[in-house]
Amino acid sequence: MDTDQTLRTFTDFFRERGHETVTGTSLLPPPQDPVLFTTSGMHPLTPYLQGRPHPQGRRLLNVQRCLRTTDLDEVGDATHLTVFEMLGSWSLGDYGHPQSLRWGYELLRDGFGIPAERLYATVFGGDDQVGPDDESLRTWQELGVPVELTGEDNWWSNGPVGICGPDSEIFVWTGDGPPRRTPTTDPRWVEIWNHVHLRYHRHEDGRLEPLRRPGVDTGMGLERLLTVLQGRRDVYEIDLFEPWMRTVPSLWDLDERSTRLVCDHLRSSIVVTADGVRPSNTGRGYVLRRLIRRLLTSLYRDDSSRGLAELPRELIEHTLDHFRQTERADLVREVLLDEERRFGQLLERGRRVLSRTEFRARPLDEEDYAYLHDTYGLPRELVAGISAGCR
């Protein structure tokens, strides 16, 4: 099943069951929101999950682009991405958690064609404040899906305070041969869908207060789902990355990890730029700047003549198209090239300063890093890169 079919299957399924598609999927949360970027499908819906009526009703669905930079050092492995899309469905005090689990099972088995015997669920087993989630346990047993009970792995919260509740995660067997063991004891069980029963509000003092109107919040990462549906182990092998993996290795001869990092960071930089962010030294702009500079550092590592001028317009267009962004590809390209020019100038300055004898003669210490930053505007990462031999 390709990306378009997968997206259509998901949205049709929930529309047929009375869900309205939430509009507005930008990576930028509303102005009063403390976070820099949207990190999950439910994030923009938080006020409505807390009780405010939503103008589109009580059954919602969404395909939300998200940006996560907490795992930046993992990018380059077979599964981590900075920008991804989350398929979500919500009941704002409408249907209950068992209904959500039943629909989840039906969509995975009948809609996406995942054999029932390759599914496993985990359920909250209880802790010292909240009892086991018997309702979910019973639902899975009625559906004939094997269940594993866990503790905090099946408790979802948005932070130390705020809405939270027990969740039930659905896993798919991705190993060769028949399924073995359980989700917590064999990594070949891959979690693809989380159904949260938002039942509580946690106060500062740790106390849980039951919500007057409990809700259901589900989230499923599109790229991970596609990896499973397309029988891949590596997210970069799914159809969505085909233009990237066809183009980037033929442009630049990089090792596998660097190829993945360059693809991931370039794709994210395009999406973030098209959502209106410009590189800068603070906030969102700094995140974008870091993404671009990290990918350039990988690109220049063994050939400083490489550059973004070689990036084909089609890759930018493909990305904007997929994320349904209306920004012009030429403008995005100009922002990337402009940042590359600035980075080039900074690198030049860094090389000049670091070639001075006082820095060449010994390893750099904390004082040097602070001096180079404060006097020449050279970021630590860049200095470390140059002194490690990165041209």
User: Which residues contribute to the site for ligand SER (CB under 6 A)?
Assistant: 40-42, 88, 156, 194, 196, 217-219
Q: How far is the CB of 93 from ligand SER (least distance, A)?
A: 17
Q: Which two tokens stand for residue 322?
A: 């997929």
Residues 310 and 337: beta-carbon distance below 8 Å: no
Q: How far is the CB of 302 from ligand SER (least distance, A)?
A: 38
Q: Decide the pairing of beta strands 119-124 and 147-150.
A: parallel
Residues 60 and 86: beta-carbon distance below 8 Å: no
Of 87 and 299, CB closest to ligand SER: 87
d(Cα 99, Cα 180) in Å, to the nearest integer? Answer: 28
Of 199 and 294, CB closest to ligand SER: 199
Q: How far is the CB of 233 from ligand SER (least distance, A)?
A: 22
Q: How far is the CB of 154 from ligand SER (least distance, A)?
A: 11
d(Cα 367, Cα 283) in Å, to the nearest integer? Answer: 26
Residue of this chain nearest to ligand SER (CB atom): 219
Of 196 and 235, CB closest to ligand SER: 196
Of 108 and 315, CB closest to ligand SER: 108
Q: How far is the CB of 88 from ligand SER (least distance, A)?
A: 6
- What is the dihedral sign for C-alpha 64, 70, 75, 78? negative
Of 195 and 289, CB closest to ligand SER: 195
Using left for φ > 0, alpha for ψ between -120 and 50, and beta otherwise, residue 231 falls in left
C-alpha torsion 381→385→388→391, nearest 10: -160
Of 85 and 217, CB closest to ligand SER: 217
Q: Decide the pairing of beta strands 59-67 and 208-221.
A: unpaired
Q: How far is the CB of 193 from ligand SER (least distance, A)?
A: 9
Q: How far is the CB of 89 from ligand SER (least distance, A)?
A: 9
Q: How far is the CB of 219 from ligand SER (least distance, A)?
A: 2
d(Cα 263, Cα 121) in Å, to the nearest integer? Answer: 33
d(Cα 386, Cα 375) in Å, to the nearest integer? Answer: 17
Number of residues assigned to the chain: 391
What residue ranges in the chain does DSSP mark as E strands? 20-21, 59-67, 83-91, 119-124, 147-150, 155-157, 162-173, 189-202, 208-221
Residues 238 and 223: beta-carbon distance below 8 Å: yes
Q: Which two tokens stand for residue 340?
A: 């590359």
d(Cα 100, Cα 106) in Å, to the nearest integer? Answer: 10
Q: How far is the CB of 251 from ligand SER (least distance, A)?
A: 35
DSSP 245: H
Of 171 and 300, CB closest to ligand SER: 171
Helix (H, G, I), strand (E, B) or coil at 317: helix
Q: Which two tokens stand for residue 343?
A: 């980075």
Of 41 and 385, CB closest to ligand SER: 41
Of 140 and 244, CB closest to ligand SER: 140
Residues 292 and 343: beta-carbon distance below 8 Å: yes
Q: How far is the CB of 41 from ligand SER (least distance, A)?
A: 5
Of 61 and 320, CB closest to ligand SER: 61
